[in-house]
Amino acid sequence: MYAWQKVNRERHLAKQREYRAKNPNRDRAGHLQRKFGITQADYDRMLREQLGGCAICGASRPGSTSFHVDHDHDRDAVRGLLCFRCNAGIGQFREVPALLRRAGDYLELPRADWIERPAIARLANDRARELARAGR
């Protein structure tokens, strides 16, 4: 990189930082519109309807971090606003409601069943039957 390129690059980056500082919501609004087809006003309304918290756990916004816009990838529709943990959790379960329910069943096993293999096997067998019925 030539010296003049470095100076121009640094000047350009400085102008970008200055612009973002003066217009903090402009980039966010463009992102919401491009990616999800919603406006900043839509986002703010959804947040008010969710009483200022995550649609799943209810956690309020931590500091300046914004909630994730949760959307159905197949239908390309926005479902709600989620905190990072809830959004990541749904993603880890591949957005399959039956898997999330199974995880809940697993977590609610009585303490006596924690190391009892038949209880775990029963959950696994139930899950296999559900998948077979769903054609997966």
Q: Which two tokens stand for residue 133?
A: 């019925």
Q: What is the CA radius of gyration of the chain?
A: 22
Q: What is the pLDDT of residue 119?
A: 65
Rounded Cα distance, 20 and 14, in Å: 10
CATH architecture of 3-92: 3-Layer(aba) Sandwich (3.40)
Element (DSSP H or E) covering residue 95? none
Q: What is the pLDDT of residue 1?
A: 61
Report the alpha-carbon distance of residue 106 to residue 57 in Å, rounded: 19
Domain range list for the chain: 3-92, 97-134
Residues of the chain above pLDDT 70, percent: 83
User: Would the CA dihedral through 52, 54, 58, 63 be positive or negative?
Assistant: negative
pLDDT tens per residue across span 71-125: 998 888 999 999 999 999 999 999 999 999 989 988 887 766 566 566 666 777 7
Question: Which of the four pLDDT bands, split at 50, 70 and 90, describes residue 62?
Answer: low
